[in-house]
Amino acid sequence: MRIVCPFCGARDAQEFSYLGDASLQQRPDTPAGAPLDDAAHAAWHDYVYLRENPPGEHTEFWYHASGCRQWLKVTRHMRTHAISNVEAARPSSLRGAA
Amino acid sequence: MVDVSIPPVVSALAGLATAGQRLGFKDGEAGVQIAELTGVAIASIAARKGLADDLSAKVQTLFGLPLPSEPKRVAAGDVSIIWSAPGQWLVVFESGGRQRVSDLTAALRGLASTTDQSDSRAIIEISGPRVRDVLAKGVMVDLHPSVFAPGNTAITLVAHVGAQLTCIDAAPVYQLMVPRSFCLSFWDWLISSAEEYGISIGAKGDPKKG
Ligand SMILES: [Zn+2]
């Protein structure tokens, strides 16, 4: 499998490491010290343990460890592994010189 | 401030091979020339948040070179700038030693974080008619001149070692930067891969210049 890094170009998957579901960016908002009620407990259980396994497109984080050391957001088809989109995970304003 | 003496940059490959040596296949002309670039000082610079354009302008006035926004190397005189990541570059000084890194650190204060990398990487230059055949044994990046021409650089794995590979001449000549701690392992791979074509060891730079 090859991933087309938006910074480096097409690279073998062995240059990257996989983090996981890119749609899970928001941690449940539980105030510090507040007791976990059933709803909060369920939200945390879902955030930490439960993952979708869709038989189609999935967005996920990959880290280009052996290249530009940037986090990427990859859209990959779970059945075919076809990658339809790769973009930088962080906003473009932080990327440096134009 | 305490005045500390600045040690010279030492060769990463000293003792492994000597200039003028011939290795591997002995008949005819060597297919590959390999030389360590010694006495080189290297600085990494990372733009401070939101100041990349100011940094770029400053570097332009210092060296007459732009900060490449894509994987490229630019060079003028004894200075080259190599893209490293978005907002990060390596500045390579072929003379003047570490003092150049100190001077750069002072000049870029407030615009970039600067780190002396002179002891972190070995720089190896490879050329010769069979150089692409050698690199093909360990490089996964397409090196065809139509896509990897002089000025192009890639940070990638070469024989499982993290390396920065740059094309510096159409001859072709390639420059490989590898972590010094992986140097012996990388050297073994390089020599094993090149010996069927015949290797001549050259010398680049002056080890005393540091
Ligand atoms: Zn990359």
Average pLDDT per block of 10 residues along chain B, 210 residues long: 70 85 94 94 96 97 97 97 97 95 98 96 96 97 96 97 97 96 94 97 61
Q: Please write the tens of the pLDDT for every residue from A9-24.
A: 999 999 999 999 998 7
Residue A93 C-alpha, separation from nearest chain B C-alpha, in angstroms = 7
Residue B31 C-alpha, separation from nearest chain A C-alpha, in angstroms = 28
Examine residue A28 and say whether the peptide bond preceding it is cis (omega within 30 degrees of 0): no
The total number of structural domains that make up chain B: 2
Q: Is residue B7 part of a domain?
A: no
Please tell me the number of Cα atoms within 13 Å of B100 on its side-chain side: 25
**Rounded CA separation A30/B160 (Å):** 43
Identify whether residues B126 and B112 lie together within a single domain.
Answer: no
- Nearest residue of chain A to residue B59 (CA atoms): A97
**Rounded CA separation A17/A66 (Å):** 9
pLDDT at residue number B4: 63
Identify whether residues B150 and B47 lie together within a single domain.
Answer: no
**Domain span at residue A58?**
1-21+54-90
Is some CB atom of chain A closer than 8 A to the CB atom of B55? Answer: yes
The CATH number linked to B70 is 3.30.70.1520
* Listed residues: CB within 5 A of ion ligand 1: A 5, 7-8, 64, 67-68
Residue A39 C-alpha, separation from nearest chain B C-alpha, in angstroms = 39
Q: Is residue A80 part of a domain?
A: yes
8 A C-beta contact, residue A67 and residue A15: yes
**Rounded CA separation B61/B67 (Å):** 11
Give the tokens for residue B143: 């090196």
Q: Is residue A68 part of a domain?
A: yes
pLDDT at residue number B2: 59
Q: What percentage of chain A has pLDDT greater than the value 90? A: 64
pLDDT at residue number A93: 46
B64 DSSP 8-state letter: S
Q: Is residue B155 part of a domain?
A: yes
8 A C-beta contact, residue A54 and residue A78: yes
**Domain span at residue B184?**
22-39+120-205
Identify whether residues B163 and B152 lie together within a single domain.
Answer: yes
Give me Rg for the CA atoms of chain B.
17
Identify whether residues B155 and B190 lie together within a single domain.
Answer: yes
Residues of B in contact with A11 (CB under 8 A): 140-141, 156
pLDDT at residue number A36: 84
Residue A96 C-alpha, separation from nearest chain B C-alpha, in angstroms = 4
Of the candidates B192, B160, B194, B196, which has an alpha carbon nearest to the alpha carbon of residue B174? B194
Is some CB atom of chain A closer than 8 A to the CB atom of B85? Answer: yes
Q: Give the count of beta carbons closer than 10 Å to the beta carbon of residue B140.
A: 17
Least confident residue range of A39-43, A77-81, B23-27, B72-76: A39-43
Where does a domain end: B85, B100, B116?
B116
Q: Is residue A37 part of a domain?
A: no
Q: Is residue A49 part of a domain?
A: no
pLDDT at residue number A16: 98
| CA angle, B147 then B152 then B155, to 5° | 105
Q: Is residue B11 part of a domain?
A: no
Q: Is residue A61 part of a domain?
A: yes
Q: Do B47 and A96 touch (CB under 8 A)?
A: yes
pLDDT at residue number B3: 60
Q: Is residue B4 part of a domain?
A: no
Identify whether residues B80 and B128 lie together within a single domain.
Answer: no
pLDDT above 70 for A97? no
The total number of structural domains that make up chain A: 1
Q: Where are the beta strands (DSSP E) in A6-80?
A: 9-12, 17-21, 57-63, 71-77
Q: Is residue B69 part of a domain?
A: yes
Mean pLDDT of A47-59: 92
pTM of the model: 0.89
Q: Is residue B15 part of a domain?
A: no
Residues of B in contact with A10 (CB under 8 A): 142
Identify whether residues B58 and B86 lie together within a single domain.
Answer: yes
| Distance from residue A39's CA to the centre of ligand 1 (Å) | 40
Q: Is residue B12 part of a domain?
A: no
Which of A14, A64, A68, A70 to mutate to test binding with chain B, by most B CBs within 10 Å of its CB? A68
Residues of A in contact with B52 (CB under 8 A): 95-98
pLDDT at residue number B52: 95
Where does a domain end: B52, B85, B116?
B116
Please tell me the number of Cα atoms within 13 Å of B114 on its side-chain side: 22
The CATH number linked to A3 is 3.30.2270.10
Give the tokens for residue B34: 């390999």
Mean pLDDT of A48-76: 95
Identify whether residues B144 and B170 lie together within a single domain.
Answer: yes
